[in-house]
Amino acid sequence: MDVLFTSQMVGNVEIKNRFVHSATYEGMAGPDGSVTKNLIKRYHQLAQGEVGLIIPGFMYVHPLGRAYNAPMGIHSDNMIEGLDSLVKAVHEFDSKIFFQINHAGQQTRPEDIGQTPLAPSNSVRDPSYFFKPRQMDETEIKDAAKAFADAAERAVKAGADGIQVHCAHCYLINQFLSPFFNRRQDKWGGSSENRFSFLKQVIQSIQDRVPDDFCITVKLNTNDFTPKPGITPELAVEYAGMLKNLGVDMIEVSCGSSIFSYMNMCRGDVPVKELVQSMPLWKKPLAWFMIQSLKGKYNLNEGYNMAAARSIRPVIGDIPLALVGGMRTLDKMSQAITEQDADLISMSRPFIREPFLVKKFRENEKDKVSCVSCNRCLAAIPNGFPVHCYNKGFPRKA
């Protein structure tokens, strides 16, 4: 266990232990994306609980990239004051904080942004809301890349220790990287190098706008699990090598898609009742049948992104690698670090249930997490509830 409580450098930032709060959508922001007291309370608790690196839930960089009901925003200078308060709450306990910056692409709803969502291509119909996105033109692509750079500059002004560029879970950057979503045949698609061009422009634009010692990290999908091949483990290795060449400071490996493979992102139980509850009445009968059919197919296997981490490790050299995906016992966590499969252990659902988990580990109060991967915490999202441990069920809606 001792290795988990040694420090780790990420760029020029020293993380006091090997534990990372993996970015988790909270559903707690204000209507305009602003930081609220509940968000500050959540991350203050996690810092008090001794999490070394805290990555809050994604912050949208552009109004057209807003997803879900109440995400945090970093799309406007008006957000900086609240984000500064969030940083100070985390720094009070010597934890570090990286902002995850994101554009949802087609993973938003027309009624939420006032127009058809944007994507690299217009080929893939959304299976939940049945629309086809609008293919981005050259100006919109460049505007989106600039929005990421603007967001990174705001993160610096807010005092964050770094950023994480969200390239996973089939949001906009993942859509550009994925041959399933990106069917373009211009300079933005058609080959792995071209599909990587948008992310390359994003990273380079950020590098031009932030101090040299500001941490730039990436969350990378290693398997999209889309109906036809998107990012595969082999393609992820290729992209990881390209990211090394760009000089990023850390890579966190993940997998799955909110659109097509929700349960690959968060393996464990399938909360059928809670997911169906979020559906309109006309969808409920078919939804119940389809979601019920998933039961037992996604049982949690501890460290389910471990094989992907082992594949990526040789091509990224000494760039720190964070591993997320069902890590549940101290033995497995220590083993991953000791055998150099990863440098940092990221967790999401366990910290929802136990914000003081790391402190309990350090004080030898426990050797495994209490989270049972029931996934009700994440089923809360489509129901409009904030992220919380709902192991005993949802509260009744008013």
For residue range 290-308, what is the model confidence (pLDDT) as tens digits?
A: 899 999 999 999 999 999 9
Average pLDDT rounded to a whole number, residues 18-46? 97
Antiparallel, parallel or unpaired: β 13-15 and 72-73: unpaired
Q: What is the pTM of this model?
A: 0.97
In a domain, 384, yes or no: no
β pairing state of 96-102 and 118-119: unpaired
Distances, alpha carbon 9 to alpha carbons 359, 385, 388, in Å: 20, 36, 31
Collapsing DSSP states into helix, strand and coil, what is residue 339?
A: coil
We report the CATH number of the domain holding residue 89 as: 3.20.20.70
Q: What is the mean pLDDT of residues 263-271?
A: 95
Domain that holds residue 247: 2-379
The least confident of 54-58, 118-122, 380-384 is 380-384
Residue 204: CA count within 13 A, CB half-sphere: 10
Whether 129 has a pLDDT exceeding 80, the answer reads: no
Give me the pLDDT at residue 111, please: 87
Return the structure tokens found at 118: 């944007």
Q: 179-183 long-range CB contacts below 8 Å, 24 or more apart? A: 179/229, 179/230, 179/235, 180/124, 180/224, 180/226, 180/227, 180/228, 180/229, 180/230, 181/106, 181/119, 181/120, 181/121, 181/123, 181/124, 181/226, 181/230, 182/120, 182/121, 183/120, 183/121, 183/123
Q: Taking residues 1-17, what's their average pLDDT?
A: 96
Mean pLDDT of the region 28-47: 98
Of all residues in the chain, what percent carry a pLDDT higher than 70? 99
Whether 386 maps to a domain, the answer reads no
Average pLDDT over the chain, rounded to an integer? 95
What own/partner pairs with CB < 8 Å and gap ≥ 24 does 200-203 have? 200/242, 200/246, 201/142, 201/145, 202/145, 202/148, 202/149, 202/165, 202/173, 203/165, 203/243, 203/246, 203/248
The answer to whether residue 388 is domain-embedded is: no
Please give the Cα distance from 203 to 260 (Å, whole number): 27
Q: Does residue 393 lie in a domain region?
A: no
Among 73, 197, 192, which Cα is nearest to 138's?
197
So what's the pLDDT on residue 126?
Answer: 85
Average pLDDT on 56-84 reads 96
Helix and strand counts by DSSP (H, E) for the chain: 16, 14
The answer to whether residue 387 sits within a structural domain is: no
DSSP string, 227-251: SS--S-HHHHHHHHHHHHHHT-SEE
Exposure string for 178-193, b = 16+ CB within 10 A, e = fewer: bbbbbebeeebbeeee
Report yes or no on 385 lying in a domain: no
Query: Dihedrals φ, ψ of 273, to 5°?
Result: -55, -45
Residue 397 in this model has a pLDDT that exceeds 70:
no
State yes or no: pLDDT of 5 exceeds 80: yes
Long-range contacts of 391-398 (CB under 8 A, 24+ apart): 391/353, 394/274, 394/277
What is the per-residue pLDDT for 128? 74
SS3 70: coil
Count, residues in the chain: 398
Is residue 397, in this structure, part of any structural domain at all? no
**Would the pLDDT of 396 be above 80?**
no
* Amino acid 291: pLDDT: 92
pLDDT at 315: 97
Report pLDDT for 115: 93
Q: Answer whether residue 398 shows pLDDT above 70.
A: no
> What's the total number of domains in the chain?
1
- pLDDT tens digits, residue range 309-366? 999 999 999 999 999 999 999 999 999 999 999 999 999 999 999 999 999 999 999 9
Decide if 391 is inside a domain: no
Calculate what percentage of the chain has a pLDDT beyond 90: 90
Q: What is the pLDDT of residues 138-170, one digit of tens each?
A: 999 999 999 999 999 999 999 999 999 999 999
